[in-house]
Amino acid sequence: MTRRRIAAANWKMNTTPGEGAALATQLAEATFDSEMIVAVPATHLDRIGQVFKNQQNIKLAAQNVWYEPKGAYTGEISTAMLLDCGVSYVLVGHSERRQIFGEDSDLLVKKMNAAFEAGLDVIYCCGEPLDARDANQQQYYVNGQLTRELATLPFEYLDRLIIAYEPIWAIGTGRTASPEQAQEMHASIRLFLETTFGAVTAQKTPILYGGSVKPANAKMIFAQADVDGGLVGGASLQSDSFVEIANSFSS
């Protein structure tokens, strides 16, 4: 079974709306041989949604969502707001949301279910911190996240799920998991999917690598059997480098 090849960008809290629109326009004019998903700050969504409106291979993603449809939730953003801006995907479970903002498994499950119910697809992030990696407990740690946060998802949502494995110790540190380390964890995640949801779901679910992906290492990482692309941070802030990453898949 041939799985989707995906280059996903996470701009985090970078660029102004004007800078983001210029970068999005450059991406819309580029040539690449994979799917591209771009997660931008909330202030940019409506403007960049217009840039990507007629693009077939570029989709817009939000970096956050709240699980209630409306109400007194100052600073939050609802699924209806995202859909009105042309959003197709939402990130859930990113390590920065977990660590800095204290988002726990119960909240992440609510967010995912709300997104799926509204018609949004989800890029679900998981990954281990340095102490778990150093203790050789990375598979145990990530399997715990998957068990708490994915195992109860309704089966009908699984076709709209993308998983991003992000080794926390390799985000923004300049350290990168070796291709072999990435493959080992991706294979472990795929085994969890097979055990929990069956072989068909396991084989068709895209799993992205999200730890300091750059043009220099993307081709080696994407060549691994269970790596279906990347969730790219800093290197996605320059169109040339991100397009090069998006063209790093083996033929």
List, as one string, the DSSP characters of 171-221: SSSS----HHHHHHHHHHHHHHHHHHH-HHHHHHS-EEE-SS--HHHHHHH
> Tens digits of per-residue pLDDT, 122-172?
999 999 998 999 899 999 999 999 999 999 999 999 999 999 999 998 776
Task: Judge whether 94 counts as a catalytic residue.
Answer: yes
Maximum C-alpha span of the chain: 50
pLDDT in the model for residue 173? 67
Q: What are the tokens at 210? A: 């999200």
pLDDT band at 1 (very low <50, low <70, confident <90, very high): low
80-95 mean pLDDT: 98
pTM value? 0.97
Q: Which of 96, 128, 166, 244 is the catalytic position? A: 166
Q: What are the tokens at 248? A: 């790093």
Calpha distance 31→52 (Å, rounded): 14
40 pLDDT above the threshold of 80:
yes
What CA dihedral angle connects 129, 77, 231 and 235, to 10 degrees? -100
How many CB atoms are located within 10 Å of the residue 135 CB? Answer: 11
Calpha distance 97→240 (Å, rounded): 28
CATH superfamily of 6-246: Aldolase class I (3.20.20.70)
pLDDT in the model for residue 67? 98
96 pLDDT above the threshold of 90:
yes
Q: What mean pLDDT, rounded, does the chain reach?
A: 95
Q: Which residue has the higher pLDDT, 176 or 204?
A: 204
How many CB atoms are located within 10 Å of the residue 157 CB? Answer: 16
Mean pLDDT lowest among 33-37, 44-48, 169-173, 243-247:
169-173
Task: Judge whether 166 counts as a catalytic residue.
Answer: yes
Instruction: Please list the residues that pair with 147 across neighbouring strands.
Output: none
Q: Which residue has the higher pLDDT, 240 or 171?
A: 240
pLDDT in the model for residue 170? 79
Q: Which of 94, 128, 149, 186 is the catalytic position? A: 94
pLDDT in the model for residue 169? 84
